[in-house]
Amino acid sequence: MIKTISIQVYGKVQGVWYRASTRDHAQNLGILGTVQNKKDGSVYIEAQGTTTQLEALYAWCKEGPELARVDRIEQVEITPKSYPDFSVIR
């Protein structure tokens, strides 16, 4: 079953390649969606895939790339959208 979630990641997650690393990890998992920086310093992700794929992405997001420091992470199931791929929104 395919579902769509949002993940909001707080901490030292901007300026540490979090978006690009998330895109690469999501693409390797076969997940569609987007990732973007938010004005409050967090990173916002929309991801669409199977439960197994999304659980793997969520687990990775709790750590992130090497230079990141994740303080808090929130996940919510959202209304499905149509994503052509997984991309970084600038």
Catalytic residues: 19, 37
CB 58 within 8 A of CB 7: yes
User: What is the DSSP secondary-structure string of 30-83?
Assistant: T-EEEEEE-TTS-EEEEEEEEHHHHHHHHHHHTT-STT-EEEEEEEEE------
Identify the bridge partners of residue 74 per DSSP, sorted by sequence position: 8
